Amino acid sequence: MYTLNCLLKLTNSCCANSGLRDRPIQAALTLLTWEIALNIYIVLFLLFGAVFGLSTYSYQHIFSEGPHKVETPEGGSTLGGRVLWAMVCTFLWPIMVLTGLNSAWILAKRKRQAAVADH
């Protein structure tokens, strides 16, 4: 009941000029729909980032340290390292995509230069 009262107060203050003040239930539902839509976008952003992080763990050298792959530890990759990479990518995946594209462009450029030098 407290949440409904807060929502109705918020609705009355937000919708005073939109003509929905006379219909508080419709205004509350409109606000609730907007909130759900925003939450869906946030959840999808974070979910895509987590999947991106889990799927790119073995290629993380492209996103962080350049084209040279770092040696893996003797015991192989650890769960902690994979989880840390997934957490970083969950929030920063747009930046990771841009740095990955930049690294891919640099690697392609180096490959073209090496092919031209061989001829």
Same domain, 118 and 65: yes
What's the domain range around 114?
56-119
Q: Give domain status of residue 49, yes or no.
A: no
At a CB cut-off of 8 Å and minimum separation 6, what does 44 contact? Answer: none
Between 12 and 25, name the one with better pLDDT: 25
* The pLDDT value given to residue 105: 87
- Would you say residue 36 lies in a domain? yes
Condensed to tens digits (0 to 9), the pLDDT of residues 68-107 reads 666 666 666 678 888 998 999 999 999 999 988 888 888 8
How many domains does the chain fold into? 2
Residue bearing the bigger pLDDT, 10 or 51: 51
Least confident of 8-12, 44-48, 112-116: 8-12
Q: Is residue 115 part of a domain?
A: yes
Q: What is the pTM of this model?
A: 0.63
Same domain flag for 25 and 80: no
Q: Read off the pLDDT of each residue in 11-23 and give the average, rounded to a whole number.
A: 59
